[in-house]
Every structure is written in structure tokens, then in C-alpha cells.
Amino acid sequence: MQKFSFALYGLLRKYKMDTLQLAEACNLPENILNDWRCGRGAAPSPGHLIKLARTFSTSRKEVSENHLSLLYAHLLDDCVGPGADYLNIEVLPKALPVVAGAWSLHPLRRMSELDLAAIRKHLWYDRSLQQSIHALAEPLKSKPLPPSTKEVKPE
């Protein structure tokens, strides 16, 4: 529930609301929202996610963006157990700025996260590997990241 709690906080921050205002607007008990906000309680259902995404939205695009951010967090939280390592959950590149804007963090592809971890294990002692990483990072320093949430246009 930790990531969902983070996404819910992002939603509240986006609209400058608190859990009480959200509870009144979406007709959900405040204690449930407070539990989610603190990373506790039963997992939200697909219906809850849509309801939360719709609450303060003024357009379909906003509903879609809010829902994406909440759903992604919920799926990551739900992906637990012995087989969880075999699943790769990722946001498609064109929608990444939406989630990054809502969470204030860039979500990393699971596969890439593991690739970087594998490199990191050998990086500190291998000089040629370090040079490869420096060479790869150098052009990225001047390369801007894709535009923020507002400029992304989910259809």
C-alpha cells in the first residue's frame, strides 16, 4: 500500500485538497481514505480507483491521468509473493511524464532497474565499465527530459 499511499498524496496535492474534502467529494468514508493515505487497510478495488480519479477532474484527459497514476501504484503494491519477480509492470513511455508529475518521481522500468543493479555490482572496481558509464551519461547531461504532465496528450 506504500506506493498507492504516495499516489493518493500526489492526487490530493495536485488539487490542494485533504482527505476530508476528498471523502466528501467522492462519497467514501474518511477513515478508509486515511488508511490508504497512511499505507494501511484493504486494497482499493478497480471501482474505487475510477471514483478517486474522477472526483476532482474536469476533463476526460485528467480522469485518465489520475487513474493511470493511481492504478500503476496499486498494481506495484499488489505485485507481491514468490512469483512477483517474474512480472514486469511498466508505464508506456508516452505516459511516463504523467506518472512522474503525479508522484514527483520517475518510475523506472523493472527490467531496467535490474539491468542497472547488475551493472552497479561490478561498477565500483571495473575501470572500463566506469568509462562506459561516463561515456553513456555525458551526452545525457545536456539532453532535456520529455515535457511535463501538462504537455502530454493521452487521447
Closest CB 130 distance from another protein, rounded Å: 6
| 16-55 positions binding another protein, by CB under 8 A | 45-46, 49-50, 53
Q: Side chain identity at 120, as an amino acid letter?
A: R
Q: Which of 8, 97, 86 is nearest to 53 (CA)?
A: 8
Closest CB 74 distance from another protein, rounded Å: 7
Q: Is 67 among the residues that bind another protein (CB under 8 A)?
A: yes
Among 16, 127, 141, 153, binds another protein (CB under 8 A): 141
CA–CA dist 71, 76 (Å, integer): 9
Among 59, 143, 151, 153, binds another protein (CB under 8 A): 143
Is 32 within 8 Å of 120 (Cβ atoms)?
no
| 74-113 positions binding another protein, by CB under 8 A | 74-75, 78-96, 98, 106-113
30 versus 108: smaller Cβ distance to another protein: 108
Set of cell numbers at residue 18: 485533504
Q: How many CA atoms lie within 13 A of 120 on its CB side?
A: 6
CA–CA dist 101, 151 (Å, integer): 11
User: Stretches 14-22, 31-39, 63-71: which one binds another protein (CB under 8 A)?
Assistant: 63-71
CA–CA dist 53, 37 (Å, integer): 15
Closest CB 28 distance from another protein, rounded Å: 16
